[in-house]
Structure 1
Amino acid sequence: MSRRGWVLFVAMSVIWGVPYLLIKVAVDEVSPVVVVFVRCVVGAALLLPWVLARGQVRPALRHWRALLVFTALEMTAPWLLLSYAEVTLSSSLTGLLVASVPFVAALAARLLGDEERLTPVRLAGMGLGVLGIAALLGFDVEGIALLPVLAVVLVVLGYGTAPLVASRALGDVPGVAVSAIALVLTAVVYAPFAVPRWEQVTTASTQALGSLAALGVVCTGVALVLFFALIREVGPQRALVITFVNPAVAVLAGVLLLDEPFTLGLAVGLPLVLLGCVLATRRNAPAPAPVESPVP
């Protein structure tokens, strides 16, 4: 990987590891629906002018059905569910639960006819991931409410299937255009619920406002641009390796900045989930080329 590739990789590993921390801070003062609305408005304000200037909106809207499905699975439902879950769950636990996305993605791809088979190594990775999540919930189950955990499960399902929609139905649409339109659509959906609660933003503390701003500017607008730059630099397979590092960043940020406890469940579950992700999403070795018989 080039130096530019490493810089982008490290940046994305950190940037998409801290949203859990920022959401946790924001929802202490602002309702989840307002958090999602502000994040989308800020992100769209950064990306939409760029997309409009390049004339990418109209071609993208030709795929409006796939755009709606992608938006619902990737942003509209997951971001609200994440914000709701973090009212109760720690940012560390939320980040680690979301680390199970690669398992869902691998299984969904297989069910939809992905040519890449589930090898014993990938199956073992999924098994380790399940054990890691069981350790998280088993050791730290005290005080954990069921509904927030189920909300994160739905987030994982959305995050795991949305890329399949993008790759199969939106492959010829620039990624930044897809992201900008999805942000606008999600903001429109939540506007009727967020605008009447806007007083929460005007009366929020500097810390909460800073978290909202960072969530919209850095973790949404800037992050989406950097992510597509990373894909161009190193390819989609290597770019997705950031999903192995994001949970570790989320755990460290929660423990160091929010004084969240580093529990036995985190100590056991973290390495299992990360190792499981690496193995479960490992690329299969190419099949050996058939040897032609020298006999005609």
Structure 2
Amino acid sequence: LELLLAAVPRNRRLLTVGPTGSTHALAVALHGARIGLDSEVLTWPQEMHDVAAATSVRLAAQARVTRTRSPAEAYLRAAIRRIRGHVHWIPAGGSSPLGALGHAAAALELVAQLARDGIPMPEAVVVPLGSGGTVAGLLLGFAIAGVTTRVVAGRVVPRIVGNPGHVLRLARRSRGLLERLAGEPIPHVDGSRLTIEHASYGGAYGRETPAAAAAAGWIRQSGGPRLDGTYSAKACGHALALARGAPDGAVLFWLTFDARWLDAVDDIPRDIRPPR
């Protein structure tokens, strides 16, 4: 979001879409408020769990929320709202060529950290696959760094969204944008470095699976962060399964949302804290 929010005119309202418990929408509303911007969110129903419910409550306190019946209706209303003007569109999940560059930078940061500490790169990085921006950015970042780490994407959305064609197109568009901005050649993204794992989905967006619940419980008992059942817990479940058959350090789980934040309102700047 840092790159997506950087050039927003201060007389605009942020507009985005997402399911009822969208952590992306909450992040847009929260960080938009930190730079003085109001947010409007169009949501649609999803299967709910504790983290999604808590996110929905926080979102309603932080943004103007309009509930719709489906993604199609939400996008239609968003298009009409954009035509009327005075809003700045943030794509679902922040997944755009510019947004993906933030994840590419994170991949480069990981490579630099491990190199500094003398730790070899993992064979695989496991990450949830939603709108695709995180996965696309990691693929691009690892390509720029020249490492052979695979990105294993645990699909948590329908195949029409979570598919290799969509991810690789986004990664290549992001590469093209960076090449234009940098004025120099950028390494190509190797599609063979992407693996999409479909069993994580569980049949519906937001539907918790036994493997995800077990992974979330194990992480909590081990002193780790609280995982959400829509994204992180599903990807973590697959990461643990991969790690059981791999050498130590071969698999890295990429956490995309630390749900402990939902219990820690005191960590939010006082002037934009939602009610408890």
User: Does 1 or 2 have the higher relative contact order (CA < 8 Å, sep 6+)?
Assistant: 1
Which structure has the larger Rg? 1
TM-score by length of 1: 0.25
Q: Quick check: which one's strand share is greater?
A: 2
Higher helix share: 1
